[in-house]
């Protein structure tokens, strides 16, 4: 996925925070990783709060993953949340159990071989992203060792494309450990093929996209969106838009984002606008705060996305799964691109499938918001049926029990190791 045209064409600011363009800076980050992570892990003790032997592992790589799988941990006494030794899980850093990565350093003799091999197959992109290759080394071998030691009953994932996640999946296959996947956000056709023993997807959209990624393996069930259960009964019933949320991430360049906000606040002074940067967006927004003192803010590190959306009547954003979450809550959602990357135009297909309205310039965007300020339909949420399999069915709002029932049934059918 890191070597695709989509990734290579990301805005310079987005790539800089992940992999610097300057090779010397990339090398500095690699050396920092080697010193702080690889060597640092050796001296960092592992003191887990729970016993991992024979348990159902819920493997997480972010706070969003944690939120997506926590209900399983609460429902099953044998389920434990686990992450890599130094993986940053946000506000849950201190609560997840850790898998030791101390031995990862022993496998770095493979790096030159992997790098040369990828130079042959992927050319310049292997050189441009040699840091990603370096980070990935050793996960597979260390995780195979962990699986043999702890012998988990199964591993449940909520991410299917990070390097450590893919490594653990491959390790599970090699060690004969059953794997399940609970989708936690919208997917794209650029993801790896679906390769879990059991995949619990939100809706037909996800399944159709995974079929475009490659052969679909294992049992697949459509369960809706478990994380939305508690919020569906609180849909927005306002007949007109008065509060507008604007969601952005590192892929949205600051200059056009600023220009759009300046235009909207000037043209629509009767509306209240709230900007919500993605939790991983570390850019300096202080100049924007000074430029637009009337602009309100939401901290994604402190406020759940659904709680944020409950305070809005409309949403403006580019490529983010927040569009789907907004529509489920009957918040009028408008797709508006702040950037120009041709590879990410309507990345999730929301506009193409009619989930959201599209505005191509600030004038169209302001016109759409004016129209919604006159009248907001009460049934916008019905557009999300293609993305959420339980919408409009007796199981609406019951995705968590449905997911648990299918997962429990599948686990009971697995042979004991």
pLDDT tens digits along 366-408? 999 999 999 999 999 999 999 999 999 999 999 999 999 999 9
| 349 falls within a domain | yes
Q: Say whether both 163 and 306 belong to one domain.
A: no
Residue 370: its H or E element = helix 362-374
- Report the CATH number at residue 166: 3.40.50.2000
Q: Are 307 and 329 in a shared domain? A: yes
372, 406: one domain: no
Residue 101 located in a structural domain: yes
DSSP reduced 3-state for 298: coil
Regarding whether 344 and 406 lie in a shared domain, the answer is no
The pTM assigned to this predicted structure is 0.90
Number of compact structural domains in the chain: 2
How high is the pLDDT of residue 21? 86
Residue 417 confidence class, pLDDT cut points 50, 70, 90: low
Is position 310 within any domain? Answer: yes
Q: pLDDT tens digit string along 35-85?
A: 888 888 888 888 899 999 999 999 999 988 998 999 999 999 999 999 999
22 and 121 both lie in a single domain: yes
Residue 375 and residue 247 share a domain: yes
pLDDT tens for 156-199 read: 999 999 999 999 999 999 999 999 999 998 898 889 999 999 99
Identify whether 393 is part of a domain.
no
- Same domain for 370 and 406, yes or no, is no
In a domain, 59, yes or no: yes
Q: Do both 168 and 72 map to the same domain?
A: yes
In a domain, 391, yes or no: no
CA-closest candidate to residue 322, choices 340, 304, 338, 341: 304
DSSP label of 151: -
DSSP run (H or E) holding 317: strand 314-317
Q: Which residue range(s) make up the domain with 180? A: 5-227+399-413
The H-assigned helical ranges of 239-295 are 254-267, 286-291
Q: Indicate if 329 and 364 belong to the same structural domain.
A: yes
pLDDT band at 205 (very low <50, low <70, confident <90, very high): very high
Contacts of 292 (CB under 8 A, 6+ apart): 261, 262, 265
Classify the C-alpha dihedral 66-68-74-80 as positive or negative: negative
Sheet holding 198-201, edge to edge: 97-99, 79-84, 56-59, 154-157, 179-182, 198-201, 219-222
The rounded radius of gyration (Å) of the Cα atoms in the chain is 22
Average pLDDT, the chain: 93
User: For residue 119, is it within any domain?
Assistant: yes
Same domain, 293 and 403: no
Averaged over 343-358, what is the pLDDT? Answer: 91
The pLDDT value given to residue 45: 85
202 and 298 in a single domain? The answer is no
In a domain, 96, yes or no: yes
* Domain identity same for 277 and 293: yes
301 versus 111: which is more confidently predicted?
111
């Amino acid at each position: 996925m890191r070597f695709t045209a989509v990734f290579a064409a990301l805005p310079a600011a987005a790539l800089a925070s992940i992999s610097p363009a300057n090779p010397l800076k990339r090398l500095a980050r690699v050396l920092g990783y080697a010193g702080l992570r690889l060597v640092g892990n050796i001296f960092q003790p592992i003191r887990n709060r729970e016993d991992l032997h024979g348990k159902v592992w819920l493997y997480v790589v972010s706070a969003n993953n944690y939120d997506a799988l926590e209900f399983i941990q609460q429902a099953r006494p044998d389920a434990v949340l686990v992450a890599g030794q130094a993986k940053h899980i946000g506000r849950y850093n201190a609560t997840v159990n850790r898998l030791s990565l101390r031995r990862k350093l022993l496998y770095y003799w493979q790096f030159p071989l992997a790098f040369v091999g990828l130079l042959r197959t992927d050319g310049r992109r292997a050189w441009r992203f040699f840091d990603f290759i370096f980070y990935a080394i050793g996960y597979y071998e260390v995780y195979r060792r962990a699986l043999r030691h702890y012998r988990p009953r199964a591993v449940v994932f909520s991410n299917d494309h990070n390097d450590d996640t893919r490594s653990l999946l491959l390790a599970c296959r090699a060690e004969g450990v059953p794997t399940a996947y609970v989708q936690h956000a919208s997917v794209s056709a650029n993801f790896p093929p679906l390769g879990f023993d059991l995949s619990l997807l939100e809706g037909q959209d996800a399944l159709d996209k995974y079929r475009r990624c490659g052969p679909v393996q294992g049992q697949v069930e459509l369960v809706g969106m478990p994380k939305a259960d508690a919020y569906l009964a609180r849909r927005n019933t306002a007949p007109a838009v008065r509060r507008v949320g604007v969601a952005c991430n590192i892929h949205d360049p600051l200059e056009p984002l600023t220009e759009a906000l300046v235009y909207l606040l000037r043209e629509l002074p009767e509306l209240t606008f709230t900007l919500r940067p993605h939790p991983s967006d570390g850019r300096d927004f202080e100049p924007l705060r000074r430029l637009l003192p009337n602009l309100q803010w939401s901290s994604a590190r402190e406020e759940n996305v659904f709680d944020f959306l409950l305070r809005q009547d409309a949403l403006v954003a580019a490529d983010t799964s927040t569009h789907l979450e907004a529509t489920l809550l009957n918040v009028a959602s408008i797709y508006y691109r702040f950037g120009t990357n041709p590879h990410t135009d309507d990345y999730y297909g929301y506009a193409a499938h009619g989930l959201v309205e599209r505005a191509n310039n600030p004038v169209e965007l302001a016109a759409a918001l004016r129209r919604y300020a006159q009248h907001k339909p009460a049934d916008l949420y019905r557009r999300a049926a293609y993305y959420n399999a339980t919408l409009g069915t007796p199981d609406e709002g019951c995705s968590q029990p449905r997911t648990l029932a299918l997962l429990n049934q599948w686990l009971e059918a697995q042979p004991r190791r």
